[in-house]
Amino acid sequence: MKKIVLILFSLFLISTLIAQDAQEIIRKTEQALRGKSSIGEMEMIVVKKEWTRKLKLKFWEKGREKSVVVILAPAKEKGIATLKIGNNVWNYLPSIERTIKLPPSMMSQSWMGSHFTNDDLVRESSLERDYNAKLIKQDNEKYYLELIPKPDATVVWGKIEAEIDKKTYLPLKAYYYDERGEKIRSLVYSDIRKTGNRYFPFLWILYPEKKPGEKTEMRIINIKFDVPIPDRIFSLRYLKHLVK
């Protein structure tokens, strides 16, 4: 009997350590993508059956709590901005000079007609905070993780599967499933380059599973990490000044 109890206790310890290791991997992955702060520019190319469009964006991010994305081009959308402070998200529309607060239900909606959501752009949800990670397998190059939402997490996805590079802790691929277990989209990270003292994927391509031939690409033009950013950047009053 004592042997059985000892074996069960050992198995429990092993499973606990594996879970802790998986959470640590996700923590390092988010640190690799975020840094303490970041400023950069990117190009978004949206490919749909009916049309293709290109946007140029600038972004500022400070930890998990504050971020801004503003459209620089084309001229028709120039100045449209999305601001996140804590759990609150707003859109600024320069054509009517109005700021609109987004309800939580809008976070899963498409951002500017792309295949990315409002949540993706401002990164409201956190893999480390909102998901329990499980290490499914690993090889010499990658960790394979399964992420299941925590009971109290307000998130869109029922499950995420991720492939993480062992050397950099950067994500290489992510597969998103709904609550019924159906795969909805795939996100592929590539063109990994060194910038400063870290590596970063300069190309993100999102493929919707139910819309073959469609995709949205995010190409990083430039990015700087751990730079000082004035707090006024992350304010409703300053949104109209971001492209001037």
Query: What domains sit in the chain, N to C, each tagged with a CATH number?
Result: 2-241 (2.50.20.10)
Is the entire prediction scored with pTM above 0.75?
A: yes
Residue 95 has pLDDT above 50, yes or no: yes
Rounded Cα distance, 175 and 210, in Å: 13
Q: Which of 221, 187, 189, 216 is nearest to 39 (CA)?
A: 221
pLDDT in tens, 138-167: 999 999 999 999 998 888 899 999 999 999
For 182-186, what is the mean pLDDT?
97
Q: How confident is the model at residue 244 (pLDDT cuts 50, 70, 90)?
A: low
The pLDDT assigned to 59 comes to: 96
Q: How confident is the model at residue 19 (pLDDT cuts 50, 70, 90)?
A: very low
The pLDDT assigned to 34 comes to: 86
